[in-house]
Every structure is written in structure tokens, then in C-alpha cells.
Amino acid sequence: MARRRTPIATEAELELLRLLWSLGPSTVRELREALARLRPTGYTTVLKLLQIMAERGLVRRDESERAHRYEAVAAEVEFQTRFLDHLTDSLFGGSTSRLVQRALTDGAVSAEELAEIRALLDEAEGAGEGAS
Amino acid sequence: MARRRTPIATEAELELLRLLWSLGPSTVRELREALARLRPTGYTTVLKLLQIMAERGLVRRDESERAHRYEAVAAEVEFQTRFLDHLTDSLFGGSTSRLVQRALTDGAVSAEELAEIRALLDEAEGAGEGAS
DNA sequence: TGCGGGCTACGAGGGAATTCGTAGGATGCC
DNA sequence: GGCATCCTACGAATTCCCTCGTAGCCCGCA
């Protein structure tokens, strides 16, 4: 009967969060307009979704003006972290490195980006020094 | 009204797939027993889920014996790839390297694993020579 | 004051995900 | 044969997600 609550956020919620991260605090109208380019959606659909997200603690809202302004509670980076943690557990047996290896094997990464990743590795190795 | 079909696989489906990957082709009973340790579930619940997954092409089944034997259609690696592709698009703006950077920053990765990742980087750099 | 437009609140409604109960068929054992 | 047991098939029940329609409120303006 029951259905386990979707972990972290649903697809539609994620879509709005992405907009909020890129636009900053926004009204329903603004979000709906930004969303329209990708996927036309009714005004009250967006509104309702935001109300639910507010209840769930995904967004907060400023009611000081007539058109309420919504804002993502978690920063984008926090969210990415949470998602990766979840994915690491659920699909990579808890191993971050296996995830990274899979991503590097599959994804197209430019030489520049590879260099950045390499720098991160250096940092991680330096930080881990003497930790054991 | 409509609700977009969950991408790739639902949580419950993923749980069964994980079992199938680790156990190999299994019967409903075997899966249910393996699952019971994590989350007690009715026999017919598991059966129904597998039937649906078979319909959706996530598993195939061997009916040569009375107790049908189910098997994951996609290998674990294929699935991980598909998930990472999806996640890269939906949460990292299509940038694999950003995903990797986030994972490396957050996750605990041993020195040994770091070395493995470094080797992968070397490989990727070699292969990517000439690409922008 | 009356009207139009914009905003929020609320709830209905349909499809999907997940749960399980019940029925019915096969199988093995006495 | 008759019974207990195990299996599949099927569909009901429940919850969640997502959609939007409608109602009601407020504000500005003629």
C-alpha cells in the first residue's frame, strides 16, 4: 500500500531547484516563465509544487510582498553532495572511488578539466597525509 | 494529471537489481529471503515487482522450472553509467568533471584508490589527445 | 464604487509506484 | 485419491506525484 517517500527530491522539484539556484530568489511568475522555455506548465502547478517544497523544507519563502518570493534552502553544492552520497550508497556499494572511476571512464572530460581533477587529487593526498 | 515515468528505475526496482547483480539469477523466494534482512517484504510483493520489471525490460526470466528464475538484463556497469549520465545532466549541468570534483571533495577515498584514479586520468589524457 | 488582473489557497483527479490478498494450478507425500 | 505446500497470475487498495480548475482576496484605476 504505502510508497516510500522519494529520496531527497523528485524530478519536478529538482527542476525548480535548478532554476532557483541559477536565478536566485524568485516569484512563481518568474519561475514559470523560466520553466516555460523547457516545459510549459500551468501557473498553479508551479505554485502548488513550491508550496509542497516549502512544507518539505526544500525552499523557504518570503511573504513580505504580495507575490511571495521563493528561495532554495540548501545551496547547490550541498545538494550535489547529498545526491552523490545517496548514489554512492545505492549504486556503488558505498565506494566513492568506484563512482569516480565509472564517471571518468564514461564521461567526456576535457584536458583542462582533467588537470583540475588532478589538482584535487594532489590536495586530497596531501590532506590525507598522516591522517592514519 | 499525467506523471512522468520515473527515469531508469525506481528505488524498489533498484534494490532488487542490486540483489540480482550480487546473487546472479534468482527465484522470487531467494530474492525475498535476501531482501528480508534489509526490509521484510511480502512474497507476492516481490513477485509483482519482478513481473513489472520484466515487462519494462529490466529483467528477463527463465520459466523452464516451476519457480521462475530472474536475471538482470543490464550489467551493473551499464546501469551505473546510465545513472551517472542522468545525474550529470540533471544536477551538474552536463559536466562530468564537476561531478567528479564534487565526489572527490566530499567522499572518503583511500590513498590506494586515489592512485587508481590517477592511473585512470593518465589513461584518459592519453586517449583524449587532440580532442578539445 | 465597480471592474480587471494578479496572487494565494485548496482540493479534485489521474497516473504511477508499491503493497498485498486471493484464486487457481501444479507437485509431492501420505 | 486427498491434503499440504509452493508457485504464478491478477487485481484491489493505498499513497505519492503532478497537474490544473476554481474560489477568494487584494490592489490599482477609471
ipTM of the complex: 0.86
Shortest CA to C1' contact from B52: nucleotide: C17
Starting at the edge strand that comes first in sequence, how are the strands of the sheet with A69-72 ordered? Answer: A26-27, A69-72, A59-62
pLDDT at residue B131, as a whole number: 47
Residues A20 and A48 in one domain: yes
Q: How far is CA A34 from CA A9, B59, B69, in A?
A: 20, 39, 48
Cβ–Cβ of A101/B110 closer than 8 Å?
no
Contacts of residue A109, defined as CB under 8 A and 6 or more positions apart, other chains included, come to: A117, B96, B97, B100, B124, B128
Determine the structural domain holding residue A91 and report its residue range: 76-128
Q: Provide the pLDDT confidence category of residue A5 given band limits of 50, 70 and 90.
A: confident
Give the model confidence (pLDDT) of B19-76 as tens digits: 999 999 999 999 999 999 989 999 999 999 999 999 999 999 999 999 999 999 999 9
**Amino acid identity of A104?**
L
Residues B23 and B53 in one domain: yes
SS3 assignment, position B60: strand
A34 burial via Cβ count (<10 Å: 0-12, 13-18, 19+): middle
Biggest alpha carbon distance in chain B? 56
Biggest alpha carbon distance in chain A? 56
Q: How far apart are CA A79 and CA B105, in angstroms?
A: 14
Shortest CA to C1' contact from B6: nucleotide: C16
A99 burial via Cβ count (<10 Å: 0-12, 13-18, 19+): buried
The pLDDT mean for chain A works out to 90
**What CATH number did the domain enclosing B39 receive?**
1.10.10.10
Statement: residue A132 has pLDDT above 70: no
Domain count, chain A: 2
Residues B29 and B66 in one domain: yes
* Partner residue opposite B100 with nearest CB, options A79, A100, A128: A100
Please state the φ and ψ torsions of residue B39, each to the nearest 5 degrees.
Answer: -165, 100
Grid coordinates representing B66 are 516451476
Task: Give A67 to chain B, closest Cα distance, Å.
Answer: 26
Grid coordinates representing B104 are 572527490
Q: Which residue out of A6, A41, A84 would a mutagenesis test of the B interface target, given it has the greatest number of B Cβ atoms within 10 Å?
A: A84
Residues A46 and A20 in one domain: yes
Cβ–Cβ of A96/B116 closer than 8 Å?
no
**Amino acid identity of A60?**
R
Residues of chain A neighbouring B99 (CB-CB closer than 8 A): 80, 84, 103, 107
pLDDT at residue A123, as a whole number: 82
Residues A61 and A111 in one domain: no
Residue environment code for B115-124, b if the CB has 16+ CB neighbours within 10 A, otherwise e: eebeebbeeb
Residue B68, domain member (yes or no)? yes
Give the model confidence (pLDDT) of A43-99 as tens digits: 999 999 999 999 999 999 999 999 999 999 999 999 999 999 999 999 998 899 999
